[in-house]
Chain A
Amino acid sequence: MTSWSAETFPTVLVEPPEPVRRGYDKAWWGMVVVIGTEGMIFMVLLAANFFLRATAKQWPPSGTELPELFQTSIFTAVLLGSSLPIFWVDWAIEKGHMRSVRIGLALSWLMGTAFLVHTILDFQALHFGWRDSSYGSVYYVIIGLHALHVIVGLLFSLLVQLKIALGRIDRDRHLTLTVFSLYWHFVDVVWIFVFSSLILSVHWR
Chain B
Amino acid sequence: MTTLQEPEPVAPISEELVERAWKDAPGIPGFFTTVDHKRIGIRYIVTAFFFFFSAGVLALFMRAQLAQPNSHVLSAETYNEFFTMHGTSMIFLFNTPVLAGFGNYLLPLQLGSRDMAFPRLNAFSYWIFLLSGIFIYSSFFTGHLPNGGWFAYTPLTSTNFSPGINLDFWGLGVVFVGISTTVGAVNFIVTTFKMRAPGMTLNRLPIFVWSMLVFSFMVIFAVPAVTVAAGLLELDRIFGTQFFNPAHGGSTLLYQHLFWFWGHPEVYILFIPATGMISMIIPAFSRRALAGYLWIVTALVTIGFISFGVWVHHMFATGLPPLALSFFSAVSLLITVPSGVQFFAWIATMWKGKVRLTTPMLFAIGFLLIFLLGGITGVMVAVLPFDWQVTDSYFVVAHFHYVLNGAVVFPIFGAIYYWFPKMTGRMLDEHLGKISFWTMFIGFNVTFFPMHILGFLGMPRRVYTYSGDVGWNSLNMIVSLASVVFAAGTLLTLWNVWRSYRGGALAGADPWGADSLEWATTSPPPDNNFDATPVVASRHPLWDQRPLPVARSGPDDATHALGLEGAASRTAALTGGMRAEPGATFPIPEETVLPLVLALGIAAFFVGLLVKVVLVGAVGVAIGVIGLLAWAWKTGEEPS
Name A's B-contacting residues (CB within 8 A): 1-30, 33-34, 36-38, 40-41, 43-45, 48, 51-52, 55-56, 61, 130-138, 140-141, 155-156, 159, 163, 168-169, 172-176, 178
Contact = CB atoms under 8 A, between A and B. Distances in A.
A172 B557 CA distance: 14
30 contacts: A3-B510, A6-B508, A8-B522, A12-B8, A15-B554, A16-B198, A20-B558, A22-B577, A23-B577, A25-B574, A33-B186, A36-B220, A40-B221, A40-B225, A41-B227, A44-B261, A48-B232, A131-B240, A131-B241, A131-B242, A133-B249, A134-B251, A137-B242, A137-B250, A141-B232, A155-B629, A168-B637, A169-B637, A175-B636, A176-B632
Interface string B339-379: 00000000000000000000000000000000000000000
B520 interface: yes
Interface string B225-266: 101100010010001111101001111011001100100000
Of the listed residues A45, A56, A140, the one surrounded by the most CB atoms of chain B closer than 10 A to its CB is A45
Contacts of B583: 19-23
B22 interface: no
Contacts of B220: 33, 36-37, 40
Interface of B: 3, 5-8, 10, 117-118, 121, 182, 185-187, 189-190, 193-195, 198-199, 220-221, 223-225, 227-228, 232, 235, 239-243, 245, 248-251, 253-254, 257-258, 261, 287, 506-513, 519-522, 532, 534-535, 542, 546-554, 556-559, 562-563, 574, 576-577, 581-584, 586, 625, 629, 632-633, 635-640
A9 B637 contact: no
Contact of B242 (A7, A134, A173): A134
B552 A16 contact: yes
Contacts of B186: 30, 33-34, 37
Given A14-B549, A16-B563, A175-B635, 15 more contacts: A9-B510, A16-B551, A19-B583, A25-B638, A30-B118, A44-B225, A52-B251, A55-B254, A130-B241, A133-B248, A133-B249, A134-B250, A137-B235, A141-B232, A176-B635
Contacts of B633: 159, 163
Contact of B556 (A10, A19, A45): A19
Contacts, number: 245
Given A13-B532, A26-B118, A176-B632, A19 B637 contact: no
B550 A136 contact: no
Nearest to B519: A9
A1 B546 CA distance: 12
Contacts of A61: 248-249
B509 A8 contact: yes
A26 B117 contact: yes
A116 to B, nearest CB: 16
A176 B637 contact: yes
Contacts of A11: 7, 10, 520, 532, 534, 547-550
A41 B640 contact: no
A50 to B, nearest CB: 10
Given A29-B190, A55-B251, A15 B228 contact: no
A134 B559 contact: no
B550 A13 contact: yes
B551 A20 contact: no
Contacts of A135: 249
B551 to A, nearest CB: 4
A14 B547 CA distance: 11
A95 to B, nearest CB: 14
A34 B628 CA distance: 15
A8 B509 CA distance: 5
Contacts of B243: 48, 52, 134, 137-138
Nearest to B249: A134
Nearest to A39: B224
A36 B199 CA distance: 28
A33 B576 CA distance: 16
Nearest to B356: A2
B234 to A, nearest CB: 11
Contacts of A12: 3, 5-8, 547-550
Contacts of B558: 19-21
Nearest to A162: B633
A156 B631 CA distance: 11
Interface centre among A13, A30, A45, A173 (most CB of B within 10 A): A13
Contact of A7 (B254, B258, B508, B636): B508
A42 to B, nearest CB: 9
Contacts of A48: 228, 232, 243, 254, 258
A55 B224 CA distance: 23
Q: Which of A6, A27, A45, A137 has the most CB of B within 10 A?
A: A137
A3 B513 contact: yes
Given A13-B532, A17-B199, A159-B629, A2 B512 contact: yes
Contact of A17 (B198, B242, B251, B640): B198
Contacts of B586: 26
B640 A25 contact: yes
Contacts of A38: 224
A171 to B, nearest CB: 9
A172 B250 CA distance: 53
Given A11-B548, A16-B554, A173-B639, A37 B223 contact: yes
A37 to B, nearest CB: 5
A17 B547 contact: no
Contact of B511 (A2, A33, A169, A175): A2
A202 B522 CA distance: 64
Contacts of A45: 228
